[in-house]
Amino acid sequence: MHKYILRRILLLIPVLLGVSFLVFTILSLTPGDPAQLILGENAPKEAILQLRDEMGLNKHFIIQYLNFIKRAIVGDFGRSYTTGREVFGEIFSRFPNTLLLATLGVFIAVAIGIPVGIISATKQYTFVDNFSMIFALLGVAMPNFWLGLMLILTFSVKLSWLPSGGFEGIKSVILPALTLGTGAAAIVTRMTRSSMLEVIRQDYIRTARAKGVTEEKVVYKHALKNALIPVITVIGLQFGGLLGGAVLTESVYSWPGVGRMMVDAIRQKDTPTVLAAVVFLAAVFSIVNLLVDILYAYVDPRIKSQYK
């Protein structure tokens, strides 16, 4: 197990290098001059050229990237072009908000998706099954930004029950968490249903029923435990995706998280902030996937024996 974990951690290095190089290349090819954005459109040309030279923007693209890697190795991702603050300080101050939103979104997805998926599988082709699948298809098809706007119009504008944005208390979390959790719940529902349908047709399930085991024990003790592996995979991927992909939701609700910070940084071509945020979220996503793989060993003893 320890060798497996160490190998997975070492594999993070090429992943982060590839992600950082791709993002650095895209930002370098996009139009816009960071020096002009900092000084303003009416700034003298001489001042812009001097600032570009101080920031190292006149050097070759590869040289700029190598300088970024050298600083990143020692934990220095530079300072924001717009605020002048250390970018990692900005990320760490906002990441708890993104983590809270993603955690609540996954909690809603699990609380809805697993029970609905189990009921749908045990009552296949009934009205309940058809209704849950319609719900799952709608959840997958609805874009987050559209659902967020609909929730704001309903609960903030018309009913005035919940705030439409910002982070001013517990009520401010409800609508963004519902927006994220609904789409994830639909995916968890579909995976739980398909995994349960595959398991409940196995011979050992029929044997348990033939021995007189109650249906509740058959479903929750025998079938669900063996069906959890793909469900855990989906939940882990959804959690990692929500940590790095809540950009639209945070923008719609003006949520002070890493996603909204990235959007603002991309608009201003704040390369250090975008690079640091992308590398940080890629590392978090990879660590979440590693934790999911480790969790497999505690759910299924057969996988634990493979690690040994």
Span 79-102, pLDDT tens digits:
787 777 888 888 888 888 888 888
The domain spans of the chain are 14-73, 94-307
How confident is the model at residue 304, as a pLDDT? 57
Q: What is the pLDDT of residues 143-189, one digit of tens each?
A: 777 888 888 888 888 888 888 777 777 888 888 888 888 888 888 88
Strand, helix or coil for residue 43: coil
The fold adopted by the segment(s) 94-307 is: MetI-like fold (1.10.3720)
CA distance 255 to 155: 17
Q: Is 212 left (phi over 0), alpha (psi -120 to 50) or beta?
A: left
Phi, psi (rounded to 5 degrees) for 90: -65, -40
Residue 302 has pLDDT above 80, yes or no: no
Contact 3, 306 (CB under 8 A): no
Integer angstrom CA distances of residue 71 from 66, 78, 79, 155: 9, 8, 11, 47
Cα distances (angstroms) measured from residue 262 to each of 46, 55, 113, 250, 257: 30, 20, 30, 10, 9
Confidence of residue 22 (pLDDT cuts 50, 70, 90): confident
Cβ atoms of residues 299 and 229 within 8 Å? yes
Residue 303 predicted with pLDDT over 70: no
